[in-house]
Amino acid sequence: MGRSGQGRLVLVATPIGNLGDLSPRAADALRAAALVCCEDTRRTGRLLQHAGVSARMVVANEHTEIARIAEVLDLLAAGHDVALVSDAGTPGISDPGEHLVRAVLDAGHDVSAVPGPAAVVMALVLSGLPTTRFVFEGFLPRSGSERTHRIADVADERRTIVLYEAPHRLARTVGDLFAACGPDRQVALARELTKLHEEVWRGTLAEATVHVDHVEPRGEYVIVLAGAPPAPDADDDTIRAALREALARGSTRKDAVATVTAALGVPKRRVFDLATSLPRPTEPDPLP
Ligand code: SAM
């Protein structure tokens, strides 16, 4: 029960393959809940049985999550806790949860979580790629311009990128990433995490295309892609042109220096020196 004496929605993370990863606190939260919202009652039923928990379950999957909101709010208002689990991992991460959380917060109730497995975090930390800054893209759109644009965004992204993918689409997605990012970008393919056949393959995108062609992808996969390398150093003419453009848009010299420094990723001192050599906007421009 929350501080207010009202019930809480508790997001409970569950194993992504190894039942031993269900934490004691997760089992306690499921036991304490008046209702367990889940994607599939048979699957969650097996988990509850493993944990020795008997609980009332209802389905809150991608089709029914919103329809469950009223029932959940009624229980919370009556002082009961409600648990939300997904088939595997952390609810709300490429799984139902987001709408329920929003509705519960909007109604003024507490939301809590029992943290635990999430394939995104496990794959990232095993990838060997930088972990300090990363983005989670979930599943890419399957086709069309939405997919093309997202892949272009991914190709330009400087932080490490984590993607979920189904095994039968892995080869195509690796091929598309190769086409957009070039052959040398580092990638890790993490499969069957926490399971018997857990494996993390690491290499370049060029090597990855060969790998996925030779080994039939089986099981669940996470793709972890290195961020885009910094753009090659801009030359003086490019910096001057960018400064002129910013000044022509009405920026002060100081703002133009800040904008161009951020946009081109070059040292601020260099941009400043080039900016001071430019004529004031009112003076005639001696540069070609
Ligand atoms: N909520 C889950 C989480 O916290 O990771 C993700 C659910 S999403 C519907 C399923 C996707 O997660 C799979 O297609 C795969 O990309 C990834 N995934 C889940 N379990 C995995 C595992 N054991 N090994 C590798 N990837 C996994």
> Where are the domains positioned within the chain?
3-117, 120-225, 236-277
Q: Is the CB of 89 under 6 A from ligand 1?
A: yes
Q: Is the CB of 124 under 6 A from ligand 1?
A: no
Both ends of the chain: CA-CA distance in Å?
A: 72
Q: Cα–Cα distance between 28 and 82 in angstroms, integer?
A: 12
Identify the CATH homologous superfamily for domain 120-225.
Tetrapyrrole methylase, C-terminal domain (3.30.950.10)
Domain pair 3-117 / 120-225, same fold: no
For the stretch 45-58, pLDDT in tens is 999 999 999 999 99
For the stretch 188-240, pLDDT in tens is 999 999 999 999 999 999 999 999 999 888 999 999 999 999 877 889 999 99
Q: Is the CB of 12 under 6 A from ligand 1?
A: no
Q: Could you say which of 3.30.2450.30, 3.30.70.890, 3.40.1010.10, 2.60.40.1930 is the CATH number of the domain covering 3-117?
A: 3.40.1010.10
Query: For residue 11, which amino acid is it?
Result: L
Query: How high is the mean pLDDT of the chain?
Result: 94
Question: Which atom of ligand 1 is nearest the CA belonging to 139?
Answer: 16
Pocket test for ligand 1, best of 21, 221, 225 (most atoms within 8 A of CB): 221
**Percent of the chain scoring above 70 in pLDDT:** 95
In the reported structure, the alpha carbon of residue 253 is separated from the centroid of ligand 1 by a whole-number distance in angstroms of: 49
Mean pLDDT of 156-163: 97
Which residue's structure tokens are 């889940």?
Answer: 38
The pLDDT score that the predictor gives to residue 283 is: 52
pLDDT value at 27 more than 90: yes
Which residue's structure tokens are 């311009």?
Answer: 145
Helix (H, G, I), strand (E, B) or coil at 171: helix
Q: Cα–Cα distance between 171 and 151 in angstroms, integer?
A: 15
Helix (H, G, I), strand (E, B) or coil at 230: coil
**Percent of the chain scoring above 90 in pLDDT:** 85
In the reported structure, the alpha carbon of residue 138 is separated from the centroid of ligand 1 by a whole-number distance in angstroms of: 9
